[in-house]
């Protein structure tokens, strides 16, 4: 068997599938049928999906769920969540319902600044470089006007450009560090286009700068690229209520409950091994909404985890306090999101999700996403400090086990009735199914 292939990208989709099926599968017909089974029956819609990426052979589905009853700044939302993990949507919905009767969630966008950099190497007199930058800075703005004019009409554009000396980290290394406002667009293409023009202008003007020696004129541009670390594009989400108002059927001692939450958060603030899992739970909520609304969850993940490490150690993204008998639970995270451009105007379910959210601005979407993360975190901490995380999670996971064993309707009912009063585990469920079928 020879797995190498030449000219794969030039093959039709059917030819790609035929090659894969014959090369890697003992039953090529079965493999081909599986891939085609996930094609959309609407040919135009399938063509749209095919063109999102390269070498497309089929669609890979994720469930799209909804978590209703989110009160955010006094407005009711039903939040879309695209995720494969059991209990995430249920947990978010449970938190939404809990806080809806306690004032709801409050969210505030603290800043929306995004960052891009031109990385370059310069060998020469640093003072000359600084003088050169001051002289040509206005030209960096003017020569990007054709790129920025439409963004400026919407209230965005280039905010500032700085020269940064990074030679203490790497010999001869400097940056043009630029900040941007991109309004309702995530802005990656806009920022990168501006940065590439900066590099062209910077390099060309260096050749004309009389104070530079021949060596100093030879500025080496390494790359021009936006940063997914956006520590000044921050949103805060919080919930708060008097401690007494935390009481409900499963919270008989609200002060003890609040103190347990605070201790759990404090552990995540000081212990990286716990913080990573703690923040992963937050990102269950964040990523699910980011994905459902057509945004880049990989960029969000990278930026958020860098932010969690900004003070030299990895720590919790959420925090909690009790002051004057009021419990407050909050999160501040960097989120560079968009509601126009990219998939937002192409993917039918992204458009559906945004319309269900009543076509939010980028800032409103930042608030919704942060709230989803906070809600998920509250649900996880509530379970961890009371019943334990596995009770609810494994009951939700039971469906996956039943599907794995292709349980009938009657078997499902019998099994679910049994596990109402028994601890769910994968081995317990498997054993019960086998015993049930063996007794027939």
Averaged confidence pLDDT in the chain? 93
Mean pLDDT computed over 80-88: 95
Please check the confidence at residue 337 and state whether its pLDDT lies above 90: yes
Nearest to 365 by CA among 237, 232, 239, 180: 237
Q: Per-residue pLDDT tens for 307-321?
A: 999 999 999 999 999
Q: For each of the domains in the chain, give its residue range(s) and CATH number, in order of start.
A: 8-50 (no CATH), 64-108+235-386 (3.90.770.10), 114-227 (3.30.70.420), 392-438 (no CATH)
Rounded CA Rg of the chain = 27
CA distances from 97 to 74, 165, 241, 322, 388 (A): 14, 51, 14, 22, 20
Mean pLDDT computed over 319-342: 96
In angstroms, rounded to a whole number, what is the distance separating the alpha carbons of residues 251 and 246?
Answer: 7
Q: Per-residue pLDDT tens for 237-274?
A: 999 999 999 999 889 999 999 999 999 999 999 999 99
Q: Per-residue pLDDT tens for 377-403?
A: 999 999 998 866 555 556 666 777 777
End-to-end CA distance of the chain: 46
Mean pLDDT computed over 225-230: 98
pLDDT tier, 414 (very low <50, low <70, confident <90, very high otherwise): confident
Please check the confidence at residue 117 and state whether its pLDDT lies above 80: yes
Residue at token pair 């601005």: 361
Q: Which pLDDT does position 388 carry in this prediction?
A: 60
Q: Which pLDDT does position 160 carry in this prediction?
A: 98
Q: Is 242 helix (H, G, I), strand (E, B) or coil?
A: strand
In angstroms, rounded to a whole number, what is the distance separating the alpha carbons of residues 340 and 186?
Answer: 8
Nearest to 343 by CA among 189, 180, 232: 189
Q: Which pLDDT does position 394 carry in this prediction?
A: 61
Predicted model pTM: 0.88
Q: Per-residue pLDDT tens for 58-68?
A: 999 999 999 99
Cβ contact 115:178 at 8 Å: yes
Q: Catalytic positions, please?
A: 85, 280, 296, 393
Q: Which pLDDT does position 409 carry in this prediction?
A: 79
């Amino acid at each position: 068997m020879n797995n190498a292939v030449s000219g794969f990208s030039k093959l039709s989709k059917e030819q790609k599938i035929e090659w894969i099926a014959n090369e890697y599968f003992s039953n090529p017909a079965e493999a081909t049928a599986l891939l085609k089974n996930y094609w959309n029956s609407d040919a135009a819609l399938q063509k749209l999906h095919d063109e999102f990426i390269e070498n497309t052979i089929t669609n890979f589905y994720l469930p799209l769920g909804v978590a209703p009853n989110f009160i955010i700044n006094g407005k009711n939302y039903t939040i879309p969540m695209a995720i494969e993990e059991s209990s995430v949507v249920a947990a978010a919905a449970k938190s939404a319902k809990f806080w809806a009767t306690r004032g709801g969630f409050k969210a505030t966008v603290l800043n929306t600044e995004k960052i891009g950099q031109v990385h370059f190497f310069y060998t020469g007199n640093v003072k000359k470089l600084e003088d050169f930058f001051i002289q040509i800075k206005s030209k960096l703005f003017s020569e990007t006007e054709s790129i920025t004019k439409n963004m400026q009409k919407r209230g965005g554009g280039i905010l500032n450009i700085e020269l940064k000396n990074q030679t203490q980290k790497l010999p001869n290394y400097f940056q043009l560090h630029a900040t941007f406002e991109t309004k309702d667009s995530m802005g990656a293409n806009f920022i990168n286009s501006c940065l590439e023009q900066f590099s062209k202008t910077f390099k060309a003007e260096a050749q004309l700068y009389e104070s530079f020696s021949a060596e100093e004129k030879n500025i080496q541009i390494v790359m021009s690229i936006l940063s997914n670390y956006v520590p000044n594009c921050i949103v805060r989400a919080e919930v708060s209520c008097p401690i007494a108002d935390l009481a409900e059927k499963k919270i008989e001692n609200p002060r003890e409950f609040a103190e347990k939450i605070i201790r759990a958060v404090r552990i995540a603030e000081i212990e990286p091994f716990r913080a990573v899992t703690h923040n992963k739970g937050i990102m269950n909520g964040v990523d699910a909404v980011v994905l459902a609304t057509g945004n880049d969850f990989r960029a969000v993940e990278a930026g958020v985890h860098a932010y969690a490490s900004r003070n030299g150690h990895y720590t919790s993204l959420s925090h909690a306090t009790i002051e004057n008998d009021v419990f407050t639970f909050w999160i501040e995270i960097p989120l560079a999101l968009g509601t126009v451009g990219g998939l937002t105007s192409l993917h039918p379910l992204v458009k559906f999700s945004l319309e269900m959210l009543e076509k939010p601005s980028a800032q409103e979407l930042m608030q919704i996403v942060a709230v989803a993360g906070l809600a998920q975190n509250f649900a996880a901490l509530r379970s961890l400090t009371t019943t334990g995380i596995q009770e609810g999670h494994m009951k939700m996971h039971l469906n996956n086990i039943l599907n794995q064993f292709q349980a009938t309707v009657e078997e499902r009912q019998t099994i679910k009735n049994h596990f109402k009063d028994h601890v769910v585990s994968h081995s317990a469920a498997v054993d019960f199914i086998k015993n049930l079928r063996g007794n027939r």
